[in-house]
């Protein structure tokens, strides 16, 4: 419980800095971040004065679950939760304006007649940018589940001629479950041959042939936290162009990892990686940003891209995933999940980045 209490304490510092008496948290991921509750309906009214006046709300389906997961806060069993909590709020009441609908705001205005509603979108997400020890440990376990699943897939002959992309995707996701995942972080990307040149290719009945690139972009979900990793392999002896392309992306990825330092502009991290590819004449074939934050969402802040804003801080969890995509021929992407540290980034996805030939 100490992690959740510490997060609420940090949120109160933000409430006081913005002159808010309380924050009505309705985004379920933010509710989970602040309380540990994993159900499908809840809200929490975080009072700036302390936990003794903070109230958690869910409905009767979660009476037993909420008692176990949120034993340290006053609980209210009611619905709709946002209105049940807003009814008793006083003073300046912040609400998650990025999450509340127009109709929802109308209902809050009618209900919270003793409070002044104030837009306060993104306050919890700002805290979620920097991961605490418990979050990093969950990310480590998620990355380990993905690493082990890929090793098992390769070790048991799962990447062989004649298999389809769909078959490999199903097996990879099943093996992540075998190794401790609650499920996949997202629908796995499995792309053979020319399909590997499509950045977000969806698996099809395309079969694997000797000489094909195999691009696998996948992740595991553990304790609500997402891992994200891409590895590009070759079935059989790689052609010279495949080795050259792979080595180029590997150099770019190493440059991006090396730029992950506290205080560095996120756009500068993208530039460090992108310049390697641009100098090789493939800048137009690097079709996306360098990476993104990971945590309770598979894509969250910060965005490592040309247009990304802000600087890195120690404790941020991000991906570094450059790629070069030769349309109709094949592509390479190499991606890791890492945590920004003062002493250099901590690598969480440990599968080799050498070109694997299966």
- Over residues 199-210, the pLDDT tens digits come to 999 999 999 999
**Residue 29, exposed/middle/buried by CB under 10 A (0-12, 13-18, 19+)?**
middle
pLDDT at residue 88, as a whole number: 87
pLDDT at residue 350, as a whole number: 98
Mean pLDDT value of segment 17-33: 98
Percent of the chain whose predicted confidence (pLDDT) is above 70: 100
DSSP sequence for 43-69: EEEEETT-GGG-EEEE-GGGHHHHHHH
CA 118 to chain CA mean position, Å: 28
Mean pLDDT value of segment 22-46: 98
CA distance 139 to 228: 10
Q: Give the chain's mean pLDDT.
A: 97
Instruction: Give pTM, 2 decimals.
Output: 0.95
pLDDT of residue 1 exceeding 70, the answer is no
- Over residues 323-335, the pLDDT tens digits come to 999 999 999 999 9
- Over residues 119-163, the pLDDT tens digits come to 999 999 999 999 999 999 999 999 999 999 999 999 999 999 999
pLDDT band at 12 (very low <50, low <70, confident <90, very high): very high
Report which of 185, 148, 175 is spatially closest to residue 317, judged by C-alpha positions. Answer: 185
Mean pLDDT value of segment 261-285: 98
Sign of CA dihedral 135, 140, 142, 143: positive
pLDDT at residue 2, as a whole number: 82
The domains of the chain, with CATH numbers, are 2-128 (3.40.350.10), 133-347 (3.90.230.10)
CA distance 168 to 325: 21
3-state DSSP call for residue 330?
A: strand
């Amino acid at each position: 419980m100490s992690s959740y209490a510490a997060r609420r304490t940090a949120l109160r510092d933000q409430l006081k800095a913005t002159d808010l008496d309380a924050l009505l948290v309705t985004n379920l991921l933010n509710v989970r971040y602040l309380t540990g509750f994993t159900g499908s309906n809840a809200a929490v009214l975080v009072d700036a004065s302390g936990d003794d006046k903070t109230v958690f709300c869910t409905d009767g389906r979660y009476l037993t679950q909420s008692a176990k997961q949120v034993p340290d806060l006053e609980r209210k069993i009611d619905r709709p939760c946002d209105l049940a909590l807003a009814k008793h709020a006083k003073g300046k009441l912040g609400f998650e304006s990025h999450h509340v609908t127009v109709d929802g705001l109308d209902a809050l205005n009618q209900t919270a007649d003793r409070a002044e509603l104030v837009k306060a979108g993104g306050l919890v997400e700002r805290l979620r940018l920097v991961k605490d020890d418990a979050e990093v440990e969950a990310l480590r376990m998620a990355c380990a589940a993905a690493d082990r699943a890929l090793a098992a897939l390769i070790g048991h002959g799962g990447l062989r001629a004649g298999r389809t992309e769909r078959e490999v995707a199903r097996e990879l996701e099943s093996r992540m479950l075998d190794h401790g995942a609650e499920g996949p972080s997202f629908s796995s990307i499995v792309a053979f041959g020319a399909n590997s040149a499509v950045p977000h290719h969806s698996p099809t009945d395309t079969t694997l042939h000797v000489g094909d690139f195999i691009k696998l972009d996948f992740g595991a979900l553990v304790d609500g936290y997402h891992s994200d990793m891409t590895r590009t392999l070759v079935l059989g002896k790689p052609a010279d162009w495949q080795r050259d392309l792979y080595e180029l992306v590997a150099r770019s990825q190493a440059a991006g990892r090396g730029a992950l330092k506290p205080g560095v502009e996120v756009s500068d991290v993208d530039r460090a990686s992108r310049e390697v590819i641009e100098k090789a004449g493939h800048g137009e074939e690097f079709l996306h940003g360098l990476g993104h934050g990971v945590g309770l969402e598979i894509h969250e802040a910060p965005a490592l891209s040309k247009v990304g804003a802000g600087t890195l801080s120690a404790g941020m969890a991000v991906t570094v995933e450059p790629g070069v995509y030769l349309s109709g021929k094949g592509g390479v992407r190499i991606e890791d999940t890492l945590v920004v540290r003062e002493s250099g980034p901590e690598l969480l996805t440990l599968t080799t980045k050498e070109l694997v030939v299966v």
